[in-house]
Structure 1
Amino acid sequence: MSTRMLAPPLEWFDEWQRQTGEAMPDLDAMPSEPALPDLLRTADGEAVAEPLDWAPRRAELRGMVQHWLTGTWPETPPALAAVHCLDQGREEGAVWRHLRLDWAGPRPFAFDLELWIPDGRGPFPVFMTQSNHRRWALLALSRGYIACVYPGADSNDQSGQLAEVYPECDWSKLTRRAWLAGRALDYLLTLPVAAPDCVAITGHSRNGKQSLIAAAMDERFSAVISSSSGSGGAVSWRCSSEFCFQESVEFMTRNATTRDWFHPRLRFFTGREDRLPVDNHALLGLIAPRACLLSDAMTDGCGSMFGVEMSYLAAQPVYGLLGARDALALRWRPGNHETDAEVIQGYLDWCDHAFGRACNDFLEKLFFQAHPLPAMSSETPTPHDPAAPAGERLAWLLGAAPPRGRDAGGGYGKLPDHSAAMVGLGRPPAGVERIALNFGEYVRGELFVPAERHGPLTPVLWMHPFSHSYGPAGAYMVGPQIFHALALQGYAVLTWTQLGCGLRAEEGRDFYRRYPGWSKMGKMVRDAQAAIDLLSQGRLDAAAVTGREALALPDLDASRLTLLGYSLGGLAALLTAAVDPRVAAVAAFCGAVPFRQHRLEPSRGALQRFWQLTDLLPRLGLFAGREADGPVGLEDLLDLIAPRPCLLVAPRHDREIAAEAVIAAAAGDRPGLTLLTPDDYNRFQSDQHRVVLDWLGAAHAPTPTAAP
């Protein structure tokens, strides 16, 4: 039985365990599901094939969501005891009311409500939101909706009293707020002017999470708009692990602001999100067949385009089964976590569409569609020459690369300061300078260097993980960003956004239409080689930057050029080092994929993630079921890199890559290799940064940042 928590101890969590007697579940007895669990398969493994079979499955899912994620709430609503009008007034074409609702619960309780009702006979559709979105409600009023604002926001949260009213419920803060929305709906449905089958609820960020919970648990909500609801909302916990640089289970249950948003049980699954019996995409299944719009920004540090899309795709079969395929929709917007009037008008367009008031187009736009090749049978000839040198076999795996030219790089096309700030690459800390530039095939890069420099600097290329919002910068980190930490220690760190992430999301979406024979990973390796071209020059040649002033780089020692990558970036770094001898050293955290030792759909989802879900290496699809025949193994990459210094960090509890398989692939006499297998899970925070710095110091000492 696995009784060890991977998350560090927390006083509040330990106290909760003492008070409740809650023991850690036996995670070894829970199946590992790297992909989102099938909503149309019961806990006993039975398929749900008919619409009539959905009701019992829905009840099962509802109970699982409450047990593992949200906590329970009162199933029998209290009676509405009294309605008090605290204030009211005439506005232009509407009446406004400030109400106090009294409820006859086990203990009496009350809360306030704001309401705008358009002039006319009705019935009118209803738009519900929280106190801090009051101006959203005014837009809804202008579109002919009854606008209702209930006190379920940080700025006006009247749900806290419910913990004492219903002490038998173990609900979380967001669940209490969602239940409060249901009580507001109880009152609204007593109004003859309110259309009972046209009630929408929406909210942004944490309010988007509670809106999903409200609609999932209360079927009277006709429509829901989830606006940038992020981790615990439209983004599943499986897709917001720490290797995604997102609001992970560990972060959300540790942070003082967020730790009571969900049930404390969630913390048991830190680093083991694949063991969760249910995930947040189940909220979308519970909402089906009612209208549900998932809205997210493409560079929102609180969200993940990949995570939202995976939840959307996982919930589609439920909507299809219930004959409501078009009732679930995605809406992408540029920018970060913010909204504006046009965004909210779009939400109201969706409500009009859902309620039959207008016919609006909400076209599906997907970014992470897989392009798998047909799997080979045992009789199918191997498409590569198994006897060819490892370098040739690796080149085959990376795909048919198009022609490549070279350029000295420059400042034209660099990332503007406002865009850099939006994705966490803006103003660096004291002691660090940022140099924005452009290199290779028009790739925007950021070079971070110490403000005081004495002698040539060791250049490091930072290659980020599956960070679909920001790219190189972690949205939620403990301590400084790695590129800042290294620059403060005397290194020159060049980084850029990988294809398909952040500001390059659309480039990734259209990649295979433009380069059908290549691979996204092949393009990532090419970008890294272009970065090596740039840093190997020392200073840019003015003549090479046609008609423009050269961009001066600091003095660099290209003979010590090092690649550092984490997760996705770790594999890209290893592949780049394997094909490019100019790399002096390489460090890969949680990126040493043991290709031949994994099934393409293993309990640890490494190859599924690198092949299928993100479509990085399509040719791996030819080896489903015969992985041992694949073109290259991890041992080939290590042979190509040796004897250069190479650091592999493979945590014992990495749910993506088996440390045992990495150990097996790295066995034997491998000069230059350092293999670490810490008793930890897949993460890259300040203590992992220390490991990098120690290894770099041994591989080649950094240039001092101060004069002797």
Structure 2
Amino acid sequence: MTTRSGRFKIRSTIVALAVTALAITAAATSIPKAAPAAAAASGVEDEGAGCAVPGLPDAGSLPTNAKLPDPFKKLDGARITTTAEWQCRRAEIKKLAEKFVYGEKPAKPASVTGTVSSTAITVNVTHQGRSAAFSAKVELPSGSGPFPAVVVLGGFGADTAAIKAAGAAVINYDPYAVGKEGTPRNNKQGAFYSVYGSSSTTGLLMAWAWGVSRIIDVIEQSNGTILRADATGVTGCSRFGKGAFVIGAFDQRIALTMPIESGSAGAPIFRGIPGEGAQSLSSAYGEQPWLGDAFGTFTGSPARLPVDTHEMVAMVAPRGLFIMDNPHIVNLGPKSASVAALGGAEVYKALGAGANITYWSDIQDGNHCANRAEWRTPLQQHIQKYLLGTGNAAGAIRISSKAAGNLAEWRDWQTPVLGSGPPSTPPTTPPTTPPTIPPTTPPTTPPTTPPTSPPTGSGCTAAVSVNAWTGGFVATVRVSAGAAAVNGWRVGLTLPAGATITNAWNADRSATSGAVQFTNVAYNGSIPAGGYTEFGFQATGTSAPMTPTCGSP
């Protein structure tokens, strides 16, 4: 059985050090490794809460760096030299990610109560005079408890039948009860925003993470006869894969994190998305308030970010991580996701936990979020290893040759050999006033990929780019001003036969099929001379060339 402990020093000693180097596999074969015991989940949500984090940089002073930030380099410029120092280095990464990417995740509220039964979990939260409540359904496997459990976001993640067959319960979590999609950034809705305010600058992904943390709080307080508090996993696909990725990174009580096909705002490195042709950062930022409001200033300049998603991967270390991806849909950014996994795996290796990370994009079925035969066995092996404590299968890096990233192109730092001594500066109590995240307005300057038809003359022009997969597509439309500024715009286009818009962002639309008129929203109607803005939409059906027109509303 896995030894479980709340402190990283203990956990790091139980992980075997004999791990072969991770590498891309052109033929998508497993990389053999030693198979150490699983690193236990922590007994606390944030082991680094007592670390003193130096002052964070201001957004306006951030330098441009096309390479991935060094995960081993502290804010004071020194690199960590021991495994014990990772705890406070992780705390620095957490604060940077909160400030510039996701928004702040508040600590446990003043009061969290609830119930756990064989069919449901209820959660009641009260904090500073505000309260909220939500619930989640529970499905138990056969046998007698207490059971480990996997939180499945929106009913859309890893195969629930395989999860229960492996011996784990399923917690069906509705993220929209905690952070609702389809709301403007200044009027967010759901249990999180009922407690922290509808104008909170924290994005939906972090709100969803807060909700899962509160579920774990309730499980910890229960009598422990139904669900185990020390053996929780999380999974989700697509937008819920984004959520699972963030949930696992920001709660160290999660023993196993399993995001699937998470796409932009999920696992793929932000710096790689524009060049890969995945859903643009401005599109992901505008489609839903998934990311924190502060991220709006980086959609066109991700190289200014002081963090990237390889460090979110590293935040999960040394706990179990199983990233499942789809190399057949460019819109998901699988090449950039593989780079994130390879970069984060360097931290796993440095901590002696290289066998605890798996990245798997070697699949045949290109359908989005399909149940795949290739993943069933490793899924159950991960549950056995990290949740049941009965297995020791080593992780594997299985990157499809269709979307293989090259970490060497993205880093100018080397992985250190970390000693086992104490940290050079012991943790201290953090400041009483946490960093604030300034609100931002959505940008009018998106990523630098040029439109197919550059603007000429006066008035406005529009150009469409499409990322398609079997059964659906995402269209990004760039609206450009000519020699004169534009004050309000309307774009008309005709969708391919049979195509239906399921959601749109950064524009109002007149219909969901056929001839559709898109008009600006309040924040992007004014475009300076020679400038541009973007809007987009997702649709079902087969894509085809679309010729947009642009004029005054």
Q: Fold-level match, TM-score > 0.5?
A: yes
Tell me which structure has the larger Cα radius of gyration.
1
Equivalent position to 2:67, from 3, 18, 35: 35
Match of 1:61 in 2: 93
Aligned counterpart, 1:51: 83
Structure 1 position 104 matched with structure 2 position 126: yes
**What is the rounded CA distance, in whole Å, between the counterparts of 1:45 and 1:135 in structure 2?**
40
Q: Which residue in the other structure is 1:421 paired with?
A: none
Verify: 1:175 aligned to 2:174, yes or no. Answer: no
Q: Distance in 1 between matches of 2:70 and 2:478?
A: 37
302, 312, 327: which is aligned to 1:298? 327
Taking the TM superposition and a 5 Å limit, the aligned residue runs for 1:236-275 are 236-241=269-274, 243-255=275-287, 258=288, 260-275=289-304
- 2:311 matched to 1:282? yes
Residue in 2 that maps onto 1:568: none
SS at match of 1:192: coil
Distance across 1 between alignment mates of 2:93 and 2:405: 27
The within-5 A match list for 1:302-317 is 302-317=331-346
Letter matched to residue 99 of structure 2: H
Matched, 1:129 2:149: no
Contact 1:134 1:149 in 2 (8 A): no
Q: Residues 447-596 of structure 1: matches in 2 within 5 Å?
A: 476-478=475-477
Counterpart-to-counterpart distance in 2, 1:83 and 1:369: 47
Output the CA distance in 2 between the equivalents of 1:371 and 1:175: 30
1:137 to 1:336, Cα distance in 2 relative to 1, 3 A = closer
Whether the aligned pair in 1 keeps the contact of 2:232 and 2:256 (CA below 8 Å) is yes
**Do the aligned residues in 1 keep the contact of 2:272 with 2:336 (CA within 8 Å)?**
yes
Amino acid corresponding to residue 80 of structure 1 in structure 2: V
Q: 1:119 deviation in Å?
A: 4.9
Q: What letter matches 1:311 in structure 2?
A: A
Alignment partner of 2:169 out of 138, 146, 154:
146
Task: Give 2:390's match in structure 1, choosing from 317, 332, 357.
Answer: 357
Higher relative CO (CA 8 A, sep ≥ 6), structure 1 or 2? 2
SS at match of 1:175: helix
2:219 aligned to which of 188, 202, 206: 188
Whole-angstrom distance in 2 between the partners of 1:231 and 1:66: 17
**Aligned to 1:162, which of 187, 192, 198?**
192
Matched, 1:339 2:361: no
Matched pairs, number:
359
Match for 2:238: what amino acid? S
CA 73–123 in structure 1, closer or farther in 2 if over 3 Å, else same: same
Deviation at 1:129, TM superposition (A): 0.9
Instruction: Name the CA shift for 1:679/1:360 in 2 (closer, same or farther; >3 Å).
Output: farther
Partner-residue secondary structure (3-state), 2:244: helix
- Quickly say closer, same or farther: Cα 1:679–1:271, change in 2 above 3 A: farther
Q: CA deviation at 1:218?
A: 1.0
Query: In the superposition, relative to structure 1, how do residues 157 and 112 fare at CA in structure 2: closer, same or farther (>3 Å)?
Result: farther
Unaligned runs of 5+ in 1: 1-23, 86-95, 373-464, 481-487, 489-677, 686-708
Of 269-278 and 130-139, more deviation after overlay is shown by: 130-139
Q: For each residue in 1:502-527, what CA deviation from the matched residue of structure 2 results, as whole angstroms up to 9, or x when unmatched? A: xxxxxxxxxxxxxxxxxxxxxxxxxx
Provide the rounded CA distance (Å) in 2 between the counterparts of 1:358 and 1:316.
21
Distance across 2 between alignment mates of 1:153 and 1:342: 29
Q: Give 1 or 2: higher helix fraction.
A: 1
Cα distance 1:162–1:196, how it changes in 2: closer, same or farther (>3 A)?
Answer: closer
1:104 is aligned with what amino acid?
Answer: T
Say if 1:98 and 1:115, in contact at 8 Å, map to a contact too: yes
Separation of aligned partners in 1, 2:398 and 2:310: 19
Rounded Cα–Cα distance in structure 2 between residues aligned with 1:469 and 1:227: 18
What SS does the aligned partner of 2:254 have?
coil
Q: Residue 149 of structure 1: SS of its match in structure 2?
A: strand
Secondary structure at 1:102's aligned position in 2? strand
Distance 2:142 2:318 in 1: 32
Task: Give aligned-pair identity as a percent.
Answer: 22
Contact 1:227–1:294 (8 Å) recurs in 2? yes
Counterpart-to-counterpart distance in 2, 1:146 and 1:271:
42
State the 1:362 CA deviation.
4.4
1:261, distance to aligned residue in structure 2 (A): 0.6
Letter of the 1:177 partner, please give it: W
**Aligned residue number for residue 103 of structure 2:** 71
Unmatched 5+ stretches in structure 2: 1-56, 182-188, 410-464, 480-492, 494-528, 537-553
SS of equivalent residue, structure 1 residue 353: helix
Residue deviations 1:450-494 (CA, integer Å, cap 9, x gap): xxxxxxxxxxxxxxx9x9997xx99543279xxxxxxx9xxxxxx
What's the counterpart of residue 19 of structure 2? Answer: none
What is the distance in 1 between the residues matched to 2:303 and 2:530? 18
One-letter amino acid matched to 1:477: T
**C-alpha spacing 1:78/1:144, structure 2 compared with 1 (3 Å):** farther
Shift of 1:349: 3.0
Query: How far did residue 72 of structure 1 move?
Result: 0.9
Counterpart of 1:70, as a letter, is Y
Deviations 1:279-311 (A, max 9, x none): 222211111111111110111244222201111
Give the Cα–Cα distance (whole angstroms) in 2 for the partners of residues 97 and 162 of structure 1: 23
- List per-residue Cα deviations over 1:421-470 (Å, max 9, x = no partner): xxxxxxxxxxxxxxxxxxxxxxxxxxxxxxxxxxxxxxxxxxxx9x9997
| Other-structure match for 2:246 | 213
- 1:187-229 residue CA offsets vs partner (Å, 9 max, x unmatched): 2233234333321111111111111211111110011001011
Whole-angstrom CA distance in 1 between matches of 2:68 and 2:303: 8
Once the two structures are TM-superposed, the CA of residue 53 in structure 1 deviates from its matched residue by: 1.3
Partner Cα separation in structure 2 for residue 264 and residue 169 of structure 1 = 9
CA apart distance, 1:108 = 2.5
Give yes or no for contact 1:100–1:110 (8 Å, CA) kept in 2. Answer: yes
The answer (yes or no) to whether the contact 2:110–2:127 under 8 Å persists in 1 is yes
Contact 1:41/1:47 (8 A) holds in 2: yes
List aligned pairs for 1:78-93, cutoff 5 A: 78-83=110-115
